[in-house]
Amino acid sequence: RKEVEQDPGPFNVPEGATVAFNCTYSNSASQSFFWYRQDCRKEPKLLMSVYSSGNEDGRFTAQLNRASQYISLLIRDSKLSDSATYLCVVNWVSGGSYIPTFGRGTSLIVHP
């Protein structure tokens, strides 16, 4: 069974804080990894891809640990507008097709 697990939170942090989320996946044959952001009752939007070497986009840093089968997202200097649910997405390849599996998401609330 292919599972993607996330701590649902909520993570309640003050503005300016640094917060980190982890996501674990069950299938070692997973091919690609992403973090999406979903605002309440809205569609998921790609935040960033996750590479083995780690990658950074402004205040956001993503890491992949294939050996331990987890990915992480670090948000520095949190803003009120960062409040959302962060979805971990893992792609498996089956028969030449990508099968995307979403985690349930981690809720972040940034307060003044």
Partner 1 sequence: EPEVTQTPSHQVTQMGQEVILRCVPISNHLYFYWYRQILGQKVEFLVSFYNNEISEKSEIFDDQFSVERPDGSNFTLKIRSTKLEDSAMYFCASSEARAVGTQYFGPGTRLLVL
Q: Is residue 27 at the binding interface for partner 1, with CB under 8 A as the rule?
A: no
Q: Is residue 44 at the binding interface for partner 1, with CB under 8 A as the rule?
A: yes
Cis amide bond preceding 100, omega within 30:
no
Which helix (H) or strand (E) element contains residue 42? none
Q: Name 30's bridge partners.
A: none
Q: Is residue 76 at the binding interface for partner 1, with CB under 8 A as the rule?
A: no
Q: Is residue 103 at the binding interface for partner 1, with CB under 8 A as the rule?
A: yes
Residue closer to partner 1 (CB basis): 39 or 77: 39
- Other Cβ atoms less than 10 A from the Cβ of 69: the count is 15
Least distance CB 74 / partner 1 (angstroms):
19
Least distance CB 23 / partner 1 (angstroms):
12
DSSP 2: -
Q: Among 14, 58, 95, 112, which residue interacts with partner 1 (rule: CB under 8 A)?
A: 95
Q: Name the burial class of residue 98, with classes exposed (0-12), middle (13-18) and buried (19+) by CB atoms within 10 angstroms of its CB.
A: exposed
Q: Among 62, 71, 84, 89, which residue interacts with partner 1 (rule: CB under 8 A)?
A: 89
